[in-house]
A and B are shown apart, each in its own frame.
Chain A
């Protein structure tokens, strides 16, 4: 599976603390990041996210995924801060 080398456009949804820090619920991001992990690093630089990736999980297209998951055009990426349901 070779990913295109050029930038791709993904959707990113934010929840909880990340939503507060990003200042929006959802946005489209044109990115050269190839993986979910690289995208979090890129957005962390932009928004100064306070949570390190070790404390997050990531979901791609509404399923839990690995940080190494390759991103494709149109993907929905959601970073999952520490949960607190119940």
Chain B
């Protein structure tokens, strides 16, 4: 991977993600493949109707861990460049919450690295998501406590 492009591998933003600009940052003459993933706010979760999401981020640690994930992908896969941007704040249905792009000579490594990055981002970064439901109540995803009262919402009864 001698011609690896040293782009900034990871970014956090409170503003709308611009995929065209991010894609342009991954252009490279030897890249025969560009795999991208866009994570968007969905209108349902666990059978409930979702109205909006709030992403809360611990910026210092999320930035460091995000850079680490992208560096790992550059190390493990035969790719040329990779980037991920993650949104914070309150997002309505359809907004892009996360963008991942990987440029590689061939599609296999591009797909694999793209999948690796989004999976690790979801698993490791200190980012939290509060769903607000159509009924007006809300809950932090993955923070439900079985059999205990929900201090934050009163609604989301332990669906994981």
Assembly CA distance A17 to B129 (angstroms): 10
Contact B142 A62 (CB under 8 A): no
A19 to B58, CA, bound (A): 12
Instruction: Report the contact-size class of chain B (Cβ under 8 Å from the partner).
Output: 20 to 34
List residues of chain A with CB within 8 A of the CB of B89: none
For residue A5, CB closer than 8 A to chain B, the reply is no
Q: How far is the CA of A85 from the CA of B58 in the complex (A)?
A: 11
Known: A82-B142, A84-B141, A85-B55. A15 touches B64 (CB 8 A): no
Q: Is the CB of B127 within 8 A of A85?
A: yes
Contact B145 A85 (CB under 8 A): no
Write the nearest CB–CB distance from A83 to chain B, whole angstroms: 6
Does B13 touch A at the CB level, under 8 Å?
Answer: no
Q: Which of B45-74 contact A (CB under 8 A)?
A: 55-56, 58, 60-62, 64
Known: A50-B151, A86-B39, A86-B97. A16 touches B145 (CB 8 A): no
| Contact B58–A13 (Cβ < 8 Å) | yes
Confirm or deny: A37 has a beta carbon within 8 angstroms of a beta carbon on chain B.
no
Q: Mark B109-121, 1 if CB is under 8 A from A, else 0.
A: 0000000001001
Residue A80 interfacial (CB < 8 Å): yes
Q: Shortest beta-carbon distance, A73 to chain B, in Å? A: 20
Please determine whether A85 and B129 come into contact, CB atoms closer than 8 angstroms: yes
- Check if A81 sits within 8 Å of B145, measured CB to CB: no
> Chain A: how many interface residues by the 8 Å CB criterion?
22
Instruction: Let me know if B61 and A59 touch, CB within 8 A.
Output: yes
Contact B64 A81 (CB under 8 A): no
Residue picked from A50, A80, A84, A86, most chain B C-beta under 10 Å:
A86
Residues of B at the A interface (CB closer than 8 Å) are 39, 55-56, 58, 60-62, 64, 86, 97-98, 118, 121-130, 140-143, 145, 148-152
Question: Other CB < 8 Å A-B pairs besides A16-B56, A86-B39, 13 of them?
Answer: A15-B128, A16-B140, A17-B151, A20-B152, A50-B149, A64-B61, A83-B123, A84-B128, A84-B140, A85-B55, A85-B62, A85-B125, A86-B97
